[in-house]
Structure 1
């Protein structure tokens, strides 16, 4: 049951709540039944009478979320009125609640560092949290923050290039020029061009190496051929007699079976033609009896006139070494 509270000092059921305990934004009147704060509550407080504190939220009417802050300590308490991060903010964030990003050109803890102090390729712009240069570093610098000079032997953007054949092995970290000149055999401002003399020497060395390899190949092939010939000869010798060839003229020997001749006396009435009659002159003597010699291996043919006709001798019986000589009849 609600009663009219006196003097605006209390409100609510049985006037049990004090108007002074409210957290009204201004000196609001105190409505007897609800205690309504006309004009709203102070930051960190809520409800009609602004008597309940914010939970996991903060600010006016508890409109801000404590989880959106970037406190360095993730367990930092969240004050219901201010939302302040106890222990400060993470890099790249600022103000009490750590909800504001660093202004452009600044980065790091408390946004106290400036990107222009780095050698960024993009004219002093960098990541607001880490300071990493967008687009890499200017020539002669390296690292995520582009604050380290190129190490010896390197040059150019992000120090990705390698120095040439410099006389002192060092080059300008920005341009790569060899300040003390080139080593022997190289030329150009970067000392990366081979001089003509060195190139000629290199060609000679390569040619010599190629010739050496070819010579070894020829020798190996020769040894293989010789070995093959020896193996073939050995196999032929073990398998049977070999056949050899000679350039000497071939001498043919012909054995002729001598014909057997018989002497025919005048009394037999068998005569050979006069041109083939011979006389025995063996031992230098001439036999007075004339004989006809015929080849006994041939059979005589007899004509119808009873004339005797004989084949001519098969061999020359009056030639060299013959015991017979030709006589005229």
Structure 2
């Protein structure tokens, strides 16, 4: 059973120039492969090493076909081919995960033998980084993303922006150049000795330059009385009130005495008038008696 119809047939050997058809062997291809032992062209296939799903599968001498299919990670009629093209598992139907450098995974288990690409974990590298981590082996921690949002599991980028006081794609850089707040868009106030303020709140941690007040040192002293000025103003107001009380008291006493004196004078005049009238009447009575 020579391979090909154009094979010559030497009279001395009968050699098949193109080899034997599957299931046959020998120089002249007249010997069948041994059943359930070997198969294929030249009987080079070994039935015992096939990756058949069922151990009891027959082994046809021409193809070595596995009747029940292949074990996970293998394919082909005789189940002798490993899964290819980044596939693995039963019927090579599963796709490899995110193996580092796009390496193929193990054809049976899907394990990435050299590890995972940044942002992925597990044996098959099909699980994203969790718990606000990212990068190689998920060993990096997300920055200060706004509202404590998780960052991108591969790059660490904060997709919705940074919390106040932080900048850069990963929100891991404090505001610089005397800036603070959301997107570092606010400028520090008049901190003492031109010190930088707190990158989140804008607070001047060492106090304000002369003439400035408030925690951020952005309010002029003339706009808000300092504790010392408050004491002075309070003292002045108290003094004015005290003087006013004294003046009112003196005035009340004066008016009271004046009124009392006026009443006494009127009383004395009344008595005098009564005495005069009495005397006048007595004199008149005496003149009548003399007459």
Q: Does structure 2 retain, via aligned residues, the 8 Å contact 1:121–1:134?
A: no
Determine which of 26, 29, 39 is the counterpart of 2:57.
29
Q: Secondary structure at the match of 1:168?
A: helix
Query: Is the Cα–Cα contact under 8 Å of residues 164 and 180 in structure 2 kept in the other structure?
Result: yes
TM-score (normalizing by structure 2): 0.52
Are 1:151 and 2:176 counterparts?
yes
Distance change (3 Å), C-alpha of 1:20 and 1:65: same
How far 1:163 moved relative to its partner? Answer: 0.4
Partner of 2:73: 44
Contact 2:86-2:104 at 8 Å conserved across structures? no
Of the two, which has the highest radius of gyration?
1
Query: Would you say how many aligned residue pairs link Structure 1 and Structure 2?
Result: 192
Of Structure 1 and Structure 2, the greater helix share is in: 2
- Provide the rounded CA distance (Å) in 2 between the counterparts of 1:91 and 1:172: 34
- Cα 1:180–1:108 shift into 2, 3 Å: same
Contact 2:37 2:59 in 1 (8 A): no
Matches within 5 A, 1:110-259: 110-115=137-142, 118-151=143-176, 153-169=178-194, 170-194=196-220, 196=222
Distance 1:181 1:17, change over 3 A: closer
Match of 1:88 in 2: 115
Q: 1:172 to 1:58 in 2, by over 3 A?
A: closer
CA deviation map 1:208-260 (0-9, x unaligned) = xxxxxxxxxxxxxxxxxxxxxxxxxxxxxxxxxxxxxxxxxxxxxxxxxxxxx
Q: Which runs of 5+ in 2 are unaligned?
A: 2-22, 25-31, 224-291
How many Å separate the matches in 2 of 1:81 and 1:179?
61
Residue 84 of structure 1: how far off its partner (Å): 4.7
- Equivalent-residue separation in structure 2 for 1:179 and 1:55 (angstroms): 63
Question: Does 1:58 pair with 2:87?
Answer: yes
Structure 1 vs Structure 2 CA RMSD: 3.5
TM-score, normalized by length of structure 1?
Answer: 0.47
